[in-house]
Amino acid sequence: MRTPETVDINGAADLMKIHPKTVLVMINSGALPAARIRRAYVLMTKDVLDYIQQQIIHQTAERLAIKGRRIRTPDKRPRRTRRSPPNLEKYMKML
Q: How confident is the model at residue 3 (pLDDT cuts 50, 70, 90)?
A: confident
* The predicted structure's pLDDT at residue 63: 83
With a CB cutoff of 8 Å and minimum separation 6, the contacts of 50 are: none
With a CB cutoff of 8 Å and minimum separation 6, the contacts of 6 are: 42, 43, 44, 45
Q: How confident is the model at residue 90 (pLDDT cuts 50, 70, 90)?
A: low
The full set of domains in the chain, from first to last, is: 1-65 (1.10.1660)
* The predicted structure's pLDDT at residue 73: 62
Q: pTM to 2 decimals?
A: 0.65
* The predicted structure's pLDDT at residue 66: 73
Mean pLDDT of 61-81: 68
